[in-house]
Structure 1
């Protein structure tokens, strides 16, 4: 079946049955495989990879690239290792500047310093605050490029797929927050059991924001009047490490420094 006829038949009951299966798999391990199964029948792809990026937009840098699942042929396409080159990633500049959802095509680069980019790629990207949800469809370099008709179709399909990936990422974050809440006691156990900790966690949930355990510890320590040296001694780390945790947390919260953190806490 040609791509044109596939688009013409997009309203078929079979397509919507598979779309329903994809929706029902949101938040589960089969989500990426279900997406690949749905898309590959319409636009042939060999692999799909899902990720959520957290950016420091002020510094135009990457704070975290969190994998959300993948499916397809690994032998034809080596696994992605984004942590090795986060801040010179070819997508970073476009992600920093984007306002609306993007479709980004990257053809195979025979001389690329990143082996990953020896494959043909189509990236669908959505933006919410400093987060970017990314769907990457890949083809081995021996296969043809994505055609304009295929790219147009994937762009239209992104209006359905990207909100599902955002929901998938949200469920993943909520699961991580729940796990953190059940983790063994930390150096700030007393604070974590206080009303301030409960209010802090509620504010994070309302903003759909995820902080690491150390980022939370530093924020809570500063909110209770602690200094950077005091936090460093309490956590047995260097002052610079505390400042790094604070910087990362501030970027996720969209604030600057202790004053900004306090204003965020009271909802200002």
Structure 2
């Protein structure tokens, strides 16, 4: 899979609908499942683990590892197993040496230890002071390793996923939310709207009512024709509203809008 061809699905309305659902699920128990559902269609993975690490960088040790969520086909992979000691974890050395906020690391085949006991593991890591936010994707040992093209795509997608796991960790600490199945979809939609208006307020940016409506519609997976029909305007008008909003927000296109939404 080439990088250029793998990026094309990110331009589809369905991708942004699922991304909107992922943004809305930060802080609740559905977050890991929605992240895996989004990524698995683009880069097949059996399971995802989300974790927050606290390091003592001067002593080069791990103070704590907190599991933030897990989702996937657990029958295809062993249950999480403890390594001899946190400080023996194969990711620690890479985390300590991070200069950038992004790291993609794939375990080599052979004897490299792994939390799930499989050599096919890809980790996305965000550095935030002494904390590391880690997204670990796994494939079963019977499946092929992640290809270079797939790793390149995950690296491209990481600037969207990594800020979200940080937000998820913060939201989980502040106010764990339990949601019923019946109210889940409605609450997610209203939360996305609240998050959007909160981001606008923090940015001190003013959008017109139509510009807001178009941005929210596109973030939740609406297409330009759908938005035009809903608002009883031409397709070109929807494009104009989006361009005006994007200019005010300092972004380009729907992907730029999604990245702005999550603070990336």
Same-fold call, TM > 0.5?
Answer: yes
* 3-state SS in 2 of match to 1:9: helix
Note if contact 2:78-2:117 (Cα within 8 Å) is conserved in structure 1.
Answer: no
Task: Give 1:113 shift.
Answer: 5.6
Other-structure match for 1:61 = 61
Other-structure match for 1:19 = 19
Note if contact 1:127-1:133 (Cα within 8 Å) is conserved in structure 2.
Answer: yes
- Inter-CA distance 76–119: structure 2 relative to 1 (3 Å threshold): farther
Taking the TM superposition and a 5 Å limit, the aligned residue runs for 1:21-170 are 21-82=21-82, 84-100=84-100, 101-109=102-110, 111-112=111-112, 116-170=116-170
Moved over 6 A (4+): none
Q: Which protein has the larger Cα radius of gyration, Structure 1 or Structure 2?
A: 1
CA distance in 1, matches of 2:19, 2:114: 34
Task: Give 1:175 shift.
Answer: 3.5
- Inter-CA distance 34–115: structure 2 relative to 1 (3 Å threshold): closer
Note if contact 1:106-1:120 (Cα within 8 Å) is conserved in structure 2.
Answer: yes
Q: For structure 1, which runs of at least 5 residues remain unmatched after alignment?
A: 177-268
Other-structure match for 1:248 = none
Q: Structure 2-normalised TM-score? A: 0.62
Note if contact 1:106-1:121 (Cα within 8 Å) is conserved in structure 2.
Answer: yes
CA distance in 1, matches of 2:60, 2:169: 22
Task: Give 1:76 shift.
Answer: 1.6
CA distance in 2, matches of 1:151, 1:114: 18
Task: Give 1:82 shift.
Answer: 4.5
Q: For structure 2, which runs of at least 5 residues remain unmatched after alignment?
A: 177-264
Task: Give 1:4 shift.
Answer: 5.7
Q: Which region of structure 1 is more displaced relative to structure 2, 125-134 or 74-83?
A: 74-83
Other-structure match for 2:172 = 172
CA distance in 1, matches of 2:122, 2:113: 19
- Inter-CA distance 114–12: structure 2 relative to 1 (3 Å threshold): closer
Note if contact 1:51-1:65 (Cα within 8 Å) is conserved in structure 2.
Answer: yes
Task: Give 1:83 shift.
Answer: 6.5
Taking the TM superposition and a 5 Å limit, the aligned residue runs for 1:212-223 are none
CA distance in 2, matches of 1:115, 1:16: 31
RMSD: 2.1
Other-structure match for 2:183 = none
- Inter-CA distance 115–32: structure 2 relative to 1 (3 Å threshold): closer
Count the aligned residue pairs: 175
Note if contact 1:45-1:137 (Cα within 8 Å) is conserved in structure 2.
Answer: yes
